[in-house]
């Protein structure tokens, strides 16, 4: 068992999909990461910031799952980060309707003392400068640092993104972002270029088309579970990252073989996330359901061709 430190947003989301819409509900990258990782009963903590408007009940949803929330600063005079978006009919594309940074604008992350030696560090999608600040507060270099990012930082903070990339072991990024970062269409070539930027492991998330893991000349693929209906994709990428990081924290095994398994656990967690609005499904997930879905993943992908 390894300690897992998570940095990222804890936020309000308002979501519109073809199936309906929500008021302000619990969201944020660190929320989804933390909820997914909590399935593995690991020691974890979140570093984030919220405003005085953030319900104590939401914080309790996290602490009830044994997530250390002492690193979530509450700025009583401020407002919580808010994002709202509308998904198109294909559920693969969305428009951002509103982004209010609020307390996130001056976020000064503080790693709890007990987590300055965390073995696994999950840098959720945030300004790369903030991600660097967190990494710099670690007293012991983590055994594995995982970074998630997005196109916005490539457009506005590319130099800072390149700086932090040199220091991380794993990057999780979607296919369009991988292409944007490298100016390469082929994901195989893009992964190689990203590898040269720092990360030993490159995970390219393709949404409904699954996820690819690249490491040296090795490549591994986990499909997304074919679902009758994707209800709301919000948080699926963060949930993937949380399942990935949580499984590695639980097993403390950082071999390539086990990182492949972590990709399968990430895909498994993400397959639940999209079934309901926001974090609702992740808040009602049982170990038995996870077990059954892993069996579905095995049935989906495993075959018996003997090569002598």
Q: Does 112 bind a second copy (CB under 8 A)?
A: no
- Nearer residue to a second copy within complex by CB, 71 or 207: 207
Smallest gap from residue 37 Cβ to a second copy (A): 17
Which of 187, 249, 270, 285 is the binder for a second copy (CB under 8 A)? Answer: 187
Q: Does 140 bind a second copy (CB under 8 A)?
A: no
Which of 38, 102, 182, 261 is the binder for a second copy (CB under 8 A)? Answer: 261
Phi/psi at 54 (5° precision): -85, 125
Which of 21, 93, 96, 186 is the binder for a second copy (CB under 8 A)? Answer: 186
Q: Does 176 bind a second copy (CB under 8 A)?
A: no
Site for a second copy in 62-81 (CB under 8 A): none
Which of 162, 221, 275, 276 is the binder for a second copy (CB under 8 A)? Answer: 221
Q: Does 96 bind a second copy (CB under 8 A)?
A: no
Going by DSSP bridges, is the β-strand pair 67-68/94-100 parallel, antiparallel, or unpaired? Answer: unpaired
Q: Does 193 bind a second copy (CB under 8 A)?
A: no
Q: Does 206 bind a second copy (CB under 8 A)?
A: yes
- Nearer residue to a second copy within complex by CB, 108 or 257: 257
Which of 218, 253, 284, 287 is the binder for a second copy (CB under 8 A)? Answer: 218
Q: Does 210 bind a second copy (CB under 8 A)?
A: yes
Residues that bind a second copy (CB under 8 A): 89-90, 185-189, 206, 209-210, 212, 218-221, 223, 226-229, 257, 260-261, 264, 291, 294-295, 298-305, 307
């Amino acid at each position: 068992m390894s300690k897992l430190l998570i940095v990222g947003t804890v936020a309000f989301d308002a979501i519109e999909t073809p199936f309906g819409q929500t008021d302000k509900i619990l969201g944020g990258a660190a929320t989804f990461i933390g909820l997914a990782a909590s399935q593995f009963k690991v020691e974890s903590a979140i570093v984030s910031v919220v405003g005085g408007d953030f319900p104590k009940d939401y914080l309790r949803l996290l602490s009830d799952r044994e997530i250390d929330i002492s690193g979530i600063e509450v700025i009583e005079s401020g407002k919580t980060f808010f994002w709202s978006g509308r998904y198109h009919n294909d559920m693969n594309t969305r428009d951002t309707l509103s982004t209010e940074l609020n307390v996130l604008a001056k976020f000064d992350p503080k790693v709890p003392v007990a987590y300055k030696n965390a073995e696994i560090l999950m840098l959720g999608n945030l300004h790369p400068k903030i991600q660097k600040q967190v990494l710099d507060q670690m007293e012991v270099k983590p055994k594995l640092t995982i970074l998630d990012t997005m196109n916005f930082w490539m457009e506005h903070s590319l130099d800072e993104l390149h700086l932090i990339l040199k220091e991380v072991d794993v990057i999780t990024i979607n296919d369009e972002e991988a292409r944007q970062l490298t100016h390469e269409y082929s994901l195989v070539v893009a992964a190689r270029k990203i590898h040269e930027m720092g990360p030993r492991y490159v995970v390219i998330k393709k949404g409904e088309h699954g996820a690819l893991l690249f490491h040296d000349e090795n490549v591994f693929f986990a499909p997304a579970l074919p679902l009758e209906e994707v209800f709301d994709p919000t948080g699926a990428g963060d949930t993937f990252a949380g399942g990935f990081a949580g499984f590695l924290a639980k097993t403390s095994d950082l071999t390539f073989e086990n990182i492949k398994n972590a990709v399968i656990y990430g895909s498994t967690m993400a397959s639940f996330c999209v079934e309901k609005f926001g974090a609702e499904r992740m808040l009602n997930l049982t170990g038995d359901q996870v077990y059954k879905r892993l069996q579905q993943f095995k049935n989906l992908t495993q075959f018996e061709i003997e090569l002598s």
